[in-house]
Amino acid sequence: MECLATNVCFGGEHRRYRHRSAVLDCDMEFAVFLPPVAVGPEPKTVPALYWLSGLTCTDQNFMQKAGAQRRAAELGMAIVCPDTSPRGLGLPGEDDSYDFGSGAGFYINATEEPWARHYRMHDYVVAELPALLESELPITGQRGISGHSMGGHGALVCALRNPGQYQSVSAFAPIANPSNCPWGRKAFSGYLGDDEQAWREWDATLLIPEVRERLPLLVDQGTADEFLEQQLAPEALVEACEKAHHHIDLRMHRGYDHSYFFIASFIDDHLDHHARALGLK
């Protein structure tokens, strides 16, 4: 881990790192916020919230725009922000569009060439990155996971597919049923091929009936979100949860859009949701 930058923030530290990922076979950058109790003269290990960002984002969007550090510092919670995809690999088409390739890894494990060698963001987020950070930083194996849009999809899928890996999960405006929306269908066909049966294991709505662990789902959605009707489908996720008796709290917020103004308005609620599950409240 090469430390690229450190900023003091609410008595803790925001750090950016670069490392060589064996899973993705490339260099990756990520950010970590460590609360004050984890950076003092006698640092204590703390649980971590993993935040997965949306299309076009890097590790920096959430850290600079969401305003999460103040509450995380009070709670004694670390925040980990990975990037949204591998970058700069020279793969054909990787930079041709905003919703596929660079900045659009969709937190799945690609099986189609030329993506399969590098685009394995699910394994990176769930296994490689936590193992690295828990060995190198004062972070425990107690984890929550959250995200926005494409990252909300990623957070839900990571939690649903990996029982015992996370103590809590939440999402802002997730792509809840990617098999049935333009963003998801483009990504899944490119990364996974045309067999739609192979897509099912990466779709939160389709996973709900089969999951073995029932973590309560907290989902916030703005009613003025420009992507709500065509891309996000929270109603499909709610219907699947109701049929499977899986607890979900979908909160619809009048007038809010898809931006970080929306996330910043409700991020403290999500941090508190995770803190309760992580034993910090």
Please list the active-site residues.
149, 225, 258
Q: What are phi and psi for residue 48, nearest 5 degrees? A: -130, 145
- The candidate with the shortest Cα–Cα distance to 27, out of 107, 118, 158, is 118
Contact in structure between 105 and 119 (CB atoms under 8 Å): yes
Helical segments of the chain, H only: 60-65, 69-75, 121-123, 129-136, 150-161, 182-192, 204-207, 234-244, 260-277
Long-range contacts from 26-29, C-beta under 8 angstroms, 24+ separation: 26/86, 26/87, 26/88, 26/89, 26/118, 28/82, 28/83, 28/86, 28/124, 29/4, 29/58, 29/59, 29/83
